[in-house]
Amino acid sequence: MTNIIVAFPKEEIAGNIKKALLQNGFSVESVCTTGAQVLQSANRLDSGILVCGYRFVDMMCTELQEYLPPHFEMLLIASKTNCEELAIQNIVSLSTPLKVHELLQTLEMMEYTITRKRKKERAKPKERSEEDRQLIDQAKRLLMERNNLSEDEAHRYMQKRSMDNGTGLAETAQMILSLLTL
């Protein structure tokens, strides 16, 4: 479940939104009345959705967005004019008067988007360090020389051994080098 922070300058409004979210199965991590409180909570959580108003005592929502951790999305609830003003700044917004079902649908959509982004990031192949690449290349060259393999065959051999042993490719390369250079 996604972390949600509710932030409005008036505590009564924040409380009403928190209540609506809790009644509909969302988990609210904290309720804030200033931008500084939001940033403190957001930095503790590292990712989530901020449901907030347009202006706080200490900053505007645009400033707040700049300082939020990178994996935080903002849902602005403000007047129609303020929402239109911020339409191009990558902030999801709902205009007042607010309908609860619109709020819930928007949060569900934002949660789905965040989940998709996380899956995409996890699916990206991890970058190998220069040391690991050199180790793998060295092991491939040794296999190519000793066993008359092509580079592809040596690589496939190392991949197979890596999968069979449940080790990483760099660790397998290290084992091959230590065994074949005795």
Confidence category of residue 12, pLDDT binned at 50, 70, 90 = very high
Domain with CATH 1.10.10.10 in the chain: 130-180
**pTM of the predicted protein model:** 0.68
Per-residue tokens: 126: 């991890």
pLDDT tens, position by position, 73-108: 999 999 988 888 776 677 898 998 989 999 999 999
Provide the pLDDT for residue 88.
Answer: 62
Residues of the chain with CATH 3.40.50.2300: 4-123
36 versus 182: the higher-pLDDT residue is 36
Could you tell me the sign of the dihedral formed by the alpha carbons of 46, 48, 73, 37, in that order? negative
* Overall size of the chain counted in residues: 182
Find the range with the poorest average confidence among 39-43, 60-64, 80-84: 80-84
CATH of 130-180, one of 3.40.640.10, 1.10.10.10, 3.60.15.10, 1.20.1070.10: 1.10.10.10
CATH number of 4-123: 3.40.50.2300
Q: What are the backbone dihedrals phi and psi of residue 77, each rounded to the nearest 5 degrees, phi first?
A: -115, 110
What is the per-residue burial (b if ≥16 Cβ within 10 Å, else e) of 100-138?
eeebbebbeebbeebeeeeeeeeeeeeeeeeebeebbee
Report the greatest alpha carbon distance in the chain.
Answer: 76
DSSP lists the bridge partners of residue 93 as 76
pLDDT at 126 over 70: yes
Residue 120 tokens read as 């995409």
pLDDT in tens, 102-117: 999 999 999 998 888 8
Map residue 19 onto helix, strand or coil. helix
H or E segment to which residue 174 belongs: helix 169-180
- pLDDT > 70 in the chain, percent: 98
One-letter amino acid at 157 equals Y
Q: How far apart are CA 159 and CA 170, in angstroms?
A: 10
